[in-house]
Amino acid sequence: MTDLATPESGLVSPAVSAAALAAATAAAAASHVEIRDLTEVSDLTEVCRLFASIWQPGAGAQPVTTELLRAMAAAGNYVAGAYEGDELLGACLGFFGSPAKASLHSHIAGVAPRGLGRGIGFALKLHQRAWALRQNVSLITWTFDPLVRRNAHFNLAKLGAGPARYLPDFYGPMRDGINGAGDTDRLMVRWDLPGPAASAASLGEPARVDAAALRERGGAAAALSVAPDGGPLTAVADGPVVLVGVPPDIEALRRRDPGRGQAWRVALREVLGGLMAEEARVIGFDRAGWYVVSREKSS
Query: How large is the angle between the packed helices 14-31 and 120-134, nearest 10 degrees?
Result: 160
pTM of the model: 0.92
Q: What is the pLDDT of residues 177-214, one digit of tens each?
A: 565 567 899 999 999 999 999 999 999 999 999 999 99
What share of the chain in percent tops pLDDT 70?
91
DSSP H stretches of helix in 2-145: 14-31, 41-55, 66-74, 120-134
pLDDT in the model for residue 58: 65
Q: Report how far residue 282's alpha carbon sits from residue 220's, in angstroms, rounded to the nearest whole number.
A: 13
> Residue 276 belongs to what H/E stretch?
helix 274-277
Confidence grade of residue 234 (pLDDT, cut at 50, 70, 90): very high
pLDDT of residue 181: 64
Q: How sure is the predictor about 8, in pLDDT bands with cuts at 50, 70 and 90?
A: very low
pLDDT tier for residue 1 given thresholds of 50, 70 and 90: very low
| Per-residue pLDDT tens digits for 284-296 | 999 999 999 999 8
**DSSP 8-state symbol, 114:** G
